[in-house]
Amino acid sequence: MSKYDFESTNAMLDSLKKSFDSFLKEDVAVNSFDKITETDFGKEVARIFNQHSDNHNAKNLDFQYKKIVHIANDIQHLKLANDATLPDWLEEELEAVFKKTKGLLTILKEELN
């Protein structure tokens, strides 16, 4: 039996991506940022990292998740400042981080299971 359920973890990442897409399109609610950053996906990333902190790809997965949270924080600050012009590069960076994270999950599935 596999040690990690990477299929579920990928589904969690997809759900997180959908939350971000909604977050980008809507006004910021008081707790919307917390709902995005405190997720089952983040807990699973922490679990993988804590158990495999010597693995380069596990470290990179943790780093990429932290980048997602950081970008979300930047977006929240822009929205709360009523800055309607979200820089294109910020959305492009977010998309790149999600793609890289998905690729890392594929690599880790092979390495850890």
**How many helices and strands, by DSSP H and E, does the chain display?**
5, 0
Pair of tokens at residue 52: 């495999």
Q: Are 9 and 25 in contact (CB under 8 A)?
A: no
pLDDT per residue as tens digits for the range 18-36 = 887 777 776 555 455 566 5
Res 33: pLDDT: 58
Q: Are 45 and 65 in contact (CB under 8 A)?
A: yes
Please state whether the predicted TM-score (pTM) of the whole model is above 0.85: no
Distance CA 52, CA 58 (A): 6
pLDDT per residue as tens digits for the range 87-113 = 778 888 989 999 999 999 999 999 998
